[in-house]
Amino acid sequence: MFKKTTLKNGLRIIVTPLKNTKAVTTLVLIGTGSKYETRRINGISHLLEHMIFKGTKKRPKTIDISKELDRVGGIYNAFTGKEFMGYWVKVDADHFNLSCDVLSDMVFNSLFRKEEMSKEKKVIFEEINMMKDNPQGYILDLWEELLYGNQPAGWMISGDRKTLQKITREDVVSYFKSYFVASNAVISIAGNVDAEKTINEAKKFFDKFRTNKKPQKKEVTEKQFFPGVSLHFKKTDQTHLCLGVRAFNLFDPKRHIVDVMAGILGGVMSSRLFIKIREQQGLAYYIRTMPEQYTDTGYLVTHAGVDNKKFFDVLKIILQEYRDLKENKVSKEELTKIKDNIKGHIHLGLETSDAWASYNGGQEVLRGKILTPAEECALIDKITQEDIINIAREIFQKNRLNLALIGPSRDKKKVLSILNSAL
């Protein structure tokens, strides 16, 4: 069971003791990301993620940071999302204080040198090139661009070359000071530690956050009256697609029903779309349906790479399965299978210290409330056949339907004709 402490300045420290490991993970989460940016500085959160590894007053070079953690076998990294970002270190529990010393030094004392920033921008340019050369991953960015358009929710987390080139050291420092504040930060620690002792140690390292209020992100606007289509022509051997619908945000109780629907459609190897498209017809290597929930928006999407010549056939099969969910009740057997699968994944996904740090910390930074695995499973158990068909009828509508694809197809007229006649 986790223990949560909120300091007087608003900083939240969460400790999850684990007996079955020798490791401990310390994760610093900040409630910001690309949805908090303006167009002029799009990509600054991701740039800041990189720059915090580029030297501090105490450890002026990148290698000064890495060698201290490498010498004790530490694993460390960082990430940037649309609504939160994080820095983490995983070490043998005997080296917990070292990991906190290095991590807090990075967070509070980074130098943000201009010459290092100039070099790191080049690294990010190559990261962007890599992503765009991978249509399987890039299609997910294009899908969200289609859904949300020219607003922060629709922009790439990495930004682009044009915006990144113009971001200055002053921009990064100002952004850092605005969002790296106590009330916007969560320290999530999980592993072979004592809760009370660990909280006291963490206070010593992480009590230096400013107490300013963070700026709020811009509210997402969602307006749609007919199916949306975004075709990106590329001479690929497969057509990579994202086909789905707008759904519910992180705070909506109906999100759990969408999770189960995604599992039924394409969440497992025995799911409907995996069987029909891959196993029975051999039209795809990968196909999956997944939910996504942000604090203010959400969606359900089917993501696949398919035979170019069979793209329209696959499109029709996916849409038919969407329609079937809103017209025919799911069997009790199929519903039970997917519910058990989701519950199993919750528990199996929490076998390591870094998983627990992320599970509890991620909920806290986004929702301000932590559901235990048992509580989460109880919500899944409550879902009925009627819930599935009712939510399917609500979300599988033309004015929620969107398709993004990368491939050699240019026949937008035919695509729209199929979408308009499907639901």
- The model's pLDDT over 309-344, given as tens digits with 9 standing for 90+, comes to 999 999 999 999 999 999 999 999 999 999 999 999
CB 401 within 8 A of CB 242: no
> Three-class SS of residue 42?
coil
Largest Cα span, the chain = 64
Q: Which of 49, 83, 116, 364 is catalytic?
A: 49
State the residue for tokens 């997944």.
290
State the residue for tokens 């497969």.
238
Q: What is the pLDDT of residue 346?
A: 97
**Known catalytic residue at 49:** yes
Check pLDDT > 90 for residue 377.
yes
The residue-averaged pLDDT of 277-289 equals: 97
**281 to each of 191, 285, 300, 371, 403, how far by Cα in Å?**
46, 11, 24, 41, 22
Check pLDDT > 90 for residue 4.
yes
Q: Is 300 exposed, middle or buried (0-12, 13-18, 19+ CB in 10 A)?
A: buried
The residue-averaged pLDDT of 251-265 equals: 98
Strand order in the sheet with 12-17: 3-6, 12-17, 185-191, 23-30, 85-92, 75-80
Q: What is the pLDDT of residue 214?
A: 87
**In the chain, what percentage of residues exceed pLDDT 70?**
100
In whole angstroms, what is the distance from residue 134 CA to residue 158 CA? Answer: 15
> Three-class SS of residue 402?
strand
The residue-averaged pLDDT of 280-284 equals: 96
Q: What is the pLDDT of residue 318?
A: 98
Residue 284 bridge partners (DSSP) = 306
Q: What is the pLDDT of residue 348?
A: 97
Q: Name which of 415, 390, 399, 226 is nearest 313 in CA terms.
A: 415
State the residue for tokens 């920033």.
117
Query: Across the chain, what does the average pLDDT equal?
Result: 97
In whole angstroms, what is the distance from residue 87 CA to residue 26 CA? Answer: 8
Show the domains of the chain with their CATH numbers: 3-206 (3.30.830.10), 228-422 (3.30.830.10)
Q: What is the pLDDT of residue 412?
A: 94
In whole angstroms, what is the distance from residue 410 CA to residue 234 CA? Answer: 10
Q: Name which of 308, 324, 249, 318 is nearest 288 in CA terms.
A: 318
User: For the chain, what is the radius of gyration of the CA atoms?
Assistant: 23
For residue 70, name the pLDDT band (cuts at 50, 70, 90): very high
The residue-averaged pLDDT of 341-364 equals: 98
In whole angstroms, what is the distance from residue 184 CA to residue 175 CA? Answer: 13
The residue-averaged pLDDT of 57-61 equals: 95
In whole angstroms, what is the distance from residue 397 CA to residue 324 CA? Answer: 13
